[in-house]
Amino acid sequence: MFGFAGKVVMITGAAGNLGHATAEAFRCVGAHLALVGRDHGHLAWAWPIAEGMLLLAADLTNEIEIQDAVEETISHYGRIDILANIAGGFSAGLPIHETPVEIWNTMMNVNARSVFLMSRAVLPHMRAQGSGKIINVAARAALEGSANSGVYCASKAAVITLTESMAAENQSFGINVNCILPGVIDTAENRASMPDADFSKWVSPVTLANIVLFLASDAARSLHGVAIPS
């Protein structure tokens, strides 16, 4: 459906369910991959055959480690055409007044700070080459606060705002920045934690990966700052 032969795609959270599905989708259409995960062991487990891929370990809340990963990708491939900020986390179950500050820090770090730092490191290279695509993962929960998940909702709402701001700042440089808003993703872990749910209403990682591919394609060249519910 989409051709990405020769394009360099950097994907965070590449060892997770959605990150793996996204990387596999790009691999199948000929892209060069720079896959980022929290450690090499986890990445190697997820990608035992990594021929033609660059596996990069980085703490996505650490500015220096992110900068090193970006520089290694540029050194290896010469450019970054697409950044998919897939990595994130979830924590809920407590009202705001009972939520520890540590949970606030964790959610803001893994969901918002990671997008901020990765995009901040990649955007100068995309500006210099005059083109680029950034796709972020927010959540449907970002659209409205709900009881006992306010911190998670706030962290994902920050991703939407970052997306809109980066889109406005970089459109004139030939860069598209957009995001997707998944509901519950159909994974083995989510099924185990919510065994009585209606799985037919959940969205599969493969479906989401195809939406990321669309946003990274020329077909989405007129989209800037869009948040797509899925």
Cβ atoms 217, 178 nearer than 8 A: no
From 152, 178, 182, 208, the catalytic residue:
152
Q: Of 62, 172, 165, whose CA–CA distance to 121 is shortest?
A: 62
**C-alpha torsion sign, points 150, 152, 154, 157:** negative
- Kindly tell me the burial class for residue 41, based on how many C-beta atoms sit within 10 Å of its own C-beta (0-12, 13-18, 19 or more): exposed
Cβ atoms 14, 47 nearer than 8 A: yes
Q: How many residues does the chain have?
A: 230
Q: Of 29, 35, 24, 31, whose CA–CA distance to 1 is shortest?
A: 29
**C-alpha torsion sign, points 86, 89, 90, 95:** negative
Question: What is the distance between the alpha carbons of residues 24 and 49, in angstroms, rounded to a whole number?
Answer: 12
Cβ atoms 56, 102 nearer than 8 A: no
Residue 51 sits at φ, ψ, to 5 deg, of -60, 130
* Cβ-based neighbours of 218, under 8 Å, separated by 6 or more: none
Q: Verify whether residue 152 is a known catalytic residue.
A: yes
What residues act catalytically?
152
